[in-house]
């Protein structure tokens, strides 16, 4: 395939002593060469692949020296994009990096779009689709754990698993063919039935396991949707602030000033939270506040985690009790706030109401209990799950959708086997599963399945 030459700064802006500007495409070396002045008239064109060269960047129009640089030359196809790649290392300051980039852009390179290097790697067949998507996720990853999920996927963990499952299906179908064409046993039908059932169940269970990780995977990527609820003035906004540690939500003494939903992202011990502070959920005649309340209810329904805030220095009210009812069956952490003030709340009743929930006491004013709260959030999320980094999480919604479809197809197939559907019809569902799994890794090559079967299994004769 042929593409134009793209360029972009590939290190974070303004950080580190060295910054890298990357070029990829057929003209990468030629463009860099135009403005490179090495020691003793050295030209980049002639150098060996995967070598580094010290020199200066000059503006070819004025011959002025722009930067002192180290230039890495990597020739196709052994590069990330499978194209010629040049990396220009220069001083990390924004001005200096920009100068180099501008020079490249005015000498034939085009500014890369976000993720375009990765897209090239995919289009040039260097990585498969799930790996390409993982790189995209990596660029967007919000926390370390999310980063690990994306990294694992990029290294091809998901691809390997999917490939293994597809091979299992293919192998089974091949085996069935052999059984039918060359019956060595008397009871071919029984054998085939058994085989299809066994392998099909295995594939189905593996897909289910993968899908089970998808909820956590999605959360790691998009944030655990967390809603803070409670009566006015209990300390919802203070809690949000304390978690965010910057004062974006307005904190006041006047009840009900949180008119609408405020949203913040925070990283709590590796769990990304999308925090939502709502106007108190309660009946009210105030029109403005009503809008807030109605939205609150909706937000509540879609939440992954509820932080229910109570006031330690106030008696429990009917409103509090109603809140407990509203969040029944959800993941809830109950927070008894304002413990620095005299107790008015009935803690026995609070414990009763919180039987199924975690319970934490805080004084947000004195910055007490926030650690325990964060601990509760993290343990709630990771409870029972194996250490996150070792798992293959599915976090991409396209992958999840395809896995669900593949699961349905496999379930149909198993059902068909059970009720004694003719083999050639059962095969269609197996093939369908195989195709759907293939879409995850971008294997859209529509070679006939039979061709594939023959390339893998020598049926000979």
**Distance (Å, whole) CA 138 – CA 135:** 5
Distance CA 6, CA 86 (A): 10
- State which residue, 120 or 236, has the beta carbon closest to Zn ion: 236
Cβ atoms of 199 and 168 within 8 Å: the answer is: yes
Minimum CB distance to ligand GDP, residue 280 (Å): 7
Distance CA 255, CA 374 (A): 26
257 annotated as a binding-site residue: yes
One of 106, 252, 298, 317 touching ligand GDP (CB under 6 A): 252
24 contributes a contact to ligand GDP by CB under 6 A: no
Q: How far is the CB of 367 from ligand GDP (least distance, A)?
A: 9
Choose the contact partner of 172 out of Zn ion, ligand GDP, none; CB within 5 to 8 A by kind.
Answer: none
Cα dist. 330→88, 303, 374 in Å? 52, 8, 18
SS3 276: strand
Each residue 50-79 as x (binds ligand GDP by CB under 6 A) or -, in order, gives: ------------------------------
369 binds, among ligand GDP, Zn ion, none (CB under 5 to 8 A by kind): none
Q: Is 400 annotated as a binding residue?
A: no
237 carries a ligand binding annotation: yes
- Is residue 238 near ligand GDP by the rule CB under 6 A? yes
Contact criterion met (CB below 8 Å) for 85 and 26: no
Instruction: Kindly tell me which residue out of 126, 199, 338, 432 binds ligand GDP, with binding defined by CB under 6 A.
Output: 338
Q: Residue 237 CB, nearest distance to Zn ion (Å)?
A: 3
Q: Is the dihedral of CA 427, 433, 439, 440 positive or negative?
A: negative
| CA dihedral for 189, 190, 193, 198, sign (positive or negative) | negative
Asked whether position 363 contacts ligand GDP by CB under 6 A, the answer is: yes
**SS3 for 148?**
helix
296 binds ligand GDP (CB under 6 A): no
Does 237 interact with ligand GDP (rule: CB under 6 A)?
Answer: yes
Choices 165-173, 203-211, 287-295, 363-371; region in contact with ligand GDP by CB under 6 A = 363-371
Q: Helix or strand or coil: residue 230?
A: strand
Please select the residue that binds ligand GDP; options are 223, 230, 292, 438, rule is CB under 6 A: 230
Nearest 5°: the CA angle 3, 6, 9 is: 160
- Is 461 annotated to bind a ligand? Reply is yes
Which of Zn ion, ligand GDP, none has residue 396 at its interface (CB below 5 to 8 Å by kind)?
A: none
Least CB distance to Zn ion at residue 114 (A): 36
Q: Judge whether 253 is annotated as a binding position.
A: yes
Q: Let me know: does 179 contact 192? Beta carbons within 8 Å.
A: yes
Q: Is 87 annotated as a binding residue?
A: yes
CA–CA distance, 231 with 229 (Å, rounded to integer): 7
Residue 322 makes CB contacts below 8 A (sequence gap 6+) with 281, 282
Q: How far is the CB of 372 from ligand GDP (least distance, A)?
A: 14
Cβ(295)–Cβ(285) below 8 Å: no
Cα distance between residue 129 and residue 118, in whole Å: 10
Q: From ligand GDP, Zn ion, none, which one binds at residue 341 (CB under 5 to 8 Å depending on kind)?
A: ligand GDP
The distance of closest approach from Cβ of residue 230 to ligand GDP in the complex, given in angstroms and rounded to an integer, is 5
* Burial (CB count <10 Å: 0-12, 13-18, 19+), residue 136: middle
Q: Is residue 278 marked as binding?
A: yes
Q: Which does 221 bind (CB under 5 to 8 A by kind): ligand GDP, Zn ion, none?
A: none
Distance CA 251, CA 264 (A): 15
Say which entry of ligand GDP, Zn ion, none residue 112 contacts (CB below 5 to 8 A, set by partner kind): none
**To 5 degrees, how large is the angle CA 255–CA 261–CA 265?**
120
Q: Residues annotated as binding site for (6S)-5-formyl-5,6,7,8-tetrahydrofolate?
A: 22, 87, 126, 461
Q: Which spans of this chain sit near ligand GDP (rule: CB under 6 A)? A: 230, 232-238, 251-253, 258, 337-338, 340-341, 363-365
Q: Residues annotated as binding site?
A: 22, 87, 126, 233-238, 252-258, 277-280, 461
Q: Residues annotated as binding site for Mg(2+)?
A: 237, 258
């Amino acid at each position: 395939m042929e593409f134009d030459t793209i360029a972009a700064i590939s290190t974070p802006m303004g950080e580190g002593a060295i910054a890298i500007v990357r070029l990829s495409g057929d003209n990468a070396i030629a463009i860099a060469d135009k403005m490179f002045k090495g020691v003793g008239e050295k030209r980049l064109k002639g150098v060996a692949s995967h070598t580094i060269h010290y020199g200066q960047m000059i503006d070819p129009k004025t011959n002025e020296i722009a930067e002192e640089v180290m230039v890495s030359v990597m020739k196709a196809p052994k590069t990330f994009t499978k194209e010629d790649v040049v990396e220009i290392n220069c001083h990390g300051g924004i001005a200096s990096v920009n100068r180099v980039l501008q020079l490249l852009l005015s000498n034939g390179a085009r500014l890369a779009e976000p993720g375009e290097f990765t897209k090239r790697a995919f289009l040039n067949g260097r990585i498969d689709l799930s790996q390409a998507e993982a790189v995209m996720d990596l660029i967007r990853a919000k926390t370390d754990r999310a980063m690990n999920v994306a990294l694992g996927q990029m290294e091809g963990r998901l691809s390997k698993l999917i490939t293994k499952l597809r091979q299992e299906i293919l192998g089974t179908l091949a085996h069935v063919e052999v059984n039918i064409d060359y019956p060595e046993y008397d009871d071919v039908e029984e054998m085939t039935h058994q085989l299809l059932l066994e392998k099909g169940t295995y594939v189905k269970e593996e897909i289910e396991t993968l899908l089970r990780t998808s909820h956590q995977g999605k959360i790691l990527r998009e944030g655990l949707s967390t809603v803070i609820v409670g009566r006015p003035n209990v300390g919802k906004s203070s809690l949000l602030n304390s978690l965010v540690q910057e004062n974006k939500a307005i904190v006041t003494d006047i009840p009900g000033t949180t008119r609408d939903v405020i949203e913040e992202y925070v990283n709590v011990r590796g769990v990304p939270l999308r925090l939502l502070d709502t106007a108190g959920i309660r009946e009210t005649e105030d029109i403005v506040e009503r809008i807030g309340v109605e939205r609150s209810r909706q937000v509540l329904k879609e939440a992954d985690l509820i932080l229910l805030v109570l006031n330690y220095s106030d008696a429990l009210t009917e409103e509090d009790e109603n809140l407990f009812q509203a969040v029944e069956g959800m993941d809830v952490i109950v927070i008894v706030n304002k413990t620095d003030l005299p107790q008015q709340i009935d803690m026995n009743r609070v414990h009763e109401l919180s039987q199924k929930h975690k319970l934490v006491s805080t004084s947000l004013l004195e910055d007490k209990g926030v650690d325990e709260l964060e601990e509760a959030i993290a343990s709630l999320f990771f409870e029972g799950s194996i250490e996150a980094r070792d798992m293959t999480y599915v976090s991409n919604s396209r992958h999840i959708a395809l896995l669900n479809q593949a699961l349905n197809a496999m379930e149909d197939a198993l059902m068909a086997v059970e009720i004694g559907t003719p083999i050639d019809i059962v095969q269609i569902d197996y093939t369908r599963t195989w195709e759907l799994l293939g879409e995850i890794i971008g294997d859209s090559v529509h070679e006939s399945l039979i061709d594939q079967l023959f390339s893998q299994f020598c049926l000979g004769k």
